[in-house]
Amino acid sequence: MRALQFFEYGPADVLRVTEIPEPHPGPGEIRIAVRTSGVTPADWKLRSGALQHRLPLPLPHALGVDAAGVVDEIGAGVTGVAPGDEVYGMTDLARLGGANAEYAVLNLWAAKPAALSWEQAGGAAANTETAVRVLDLLTITGGDTLLVEGAAGGVGTLAIQLARARGARVIGTASAHNHEFLAGLGAEPVTYGPGLAGRLGGPVDAVFDCAGSGSLAELVTVAGGPGRVVTIADFTAPEHGVHMSRSAGPGADPQSRDALSVAARLAGEGRFTVPLAGVFPLNEAAAAHRLGETGHACGKIVLSVG
């Protein structure tokens, strides 16, 4: 099968679409013929070598953690799904990849919502799991005010909607040109950068840092203490007493196993969508990575495979 790999660390140009053996599901897993697959910040950070000391990889490495497609093989012990079903989901995150390919093995999945296109579904799973996991860690419920730092990206756009569905008020930071976009998702937009506390008009109950832009010290002040801040992107978190939530590798937090079903239900109710920053064919994955690395992608980046 065709799969996206890199054989050495480096810029996006090191990416190659190569032929590798097809995977097959183990117990508790399914295999899908992939239609679309997401690109995450972890993908370009792994490829660049930025994470090689924290998450060393045997090379070559196949990329991608989320995908949508049609079930074609079922592992032992799996019930409630059959060949031919349309699903979206994630690979076993301990593998750190494998979904940017013609076939992918998933260990977390849900029925593809009819309300989401294949492109939206292919980029939904990993960011949905991340957003729900952090909202659970912050115990976000109705009446809370949540600040999302870096709200216009793939995770932030979903976190806004999922927090609003819980009844929370959401403030999202972004560049001024993305404020109307955030308002359309249900957030109150503010401009990111130094002096944020003065632009909020008061404290917030919790902070979800999606950006990793070096703002943790101010975010701790805004939240009233480090225990009400969770980051997914700033490795200086321990210096500030802040929890860094990860879904793979050392220190990983448990997955929110019902996250995909919750998102699917909300999509069916018209309360959840997946904004797309760009859709690229698999053989143009380098362009997809370059877009992500700009830090200005508004929504999710997706690869079209099947």
- 63-114 pLDDT, tens digit per residue, is 999 999 999 999 999 999 999 999 999 998 878 899 999 999 999 999 999 9
Number of other CB atoms surrounding residue 89 within 10 Å: 30
What is the model's pLDDT at position 94?
Answer: 78
Q: Is the pLDDT of residue 250 over 60?
A: no
Could you give the percent of the chain with pLDDT greater than 90? 85
Domains of the chain, first to last: 2-124+274-304 (3.90.180.10), 128-244 (3.40.50.720)
Summarize pLDDT for 162-181 with one digit per residue, the tens: 999 999 999 999 999 999 99
What is the model's pLDDT at position 295?
Answer: 81
pLDDT confidence bin for 304, thresholds 50/70/90: very high
Chain mean position to CA 230: 15
Could you give the percent of the chain with pLDDT greater than 70? 98
Pairing label, strands 188-191, 15-19: unpaired
Residue 235 gets which letter from DSSP? Answer: T
CB 68 within 8 A of CB 128: no
Q: Is the pLDDT of residue 249 over 60?
A: no
What is the model's pLDDT at position 203?
Answer: 85
Pairing label, strands 103-106, 229-231: unpaired
What is the model's pLDDT at position 251?
Answer: 61
Token match 């840092």: residue? 209
Which is nearest to 204 in space by CA: 183, 184, 218? 218
Cα separation of 50 and 202, whole Å? 36
Token match 């196949």: residue? 62
DSSP 248-282: SSTTPPPP-TTHHHHHHHHHHTT-----EEEEEEG
Average pLDDT, the chain: 94
190-214: average pLDDT? 92
This prediction has a pTM of 0.93
Summarize pLDDT for 31-59 with one digit per residue, the tens: 999 999 999 998 999 999 998 988 889 99
Summarize pLDDT for 105-162 with one digit per residue, the tens: 999 999 999 999 999 999 999 999 999 999 999 999 999 999 999 999 999 999 999 9
16-37: average pLDDT? 97
Chain mean position to CA 105: 18
CB 29 within 8 A of CB 79: no
What is the model's pLDDT at position 255?
Answer: 73
Cα separation of 70 and 57, whole Å? 29
CB 158 within 8 A of CB 148: no
Could you tell me the two tokens for 266? Answer: 């909300």
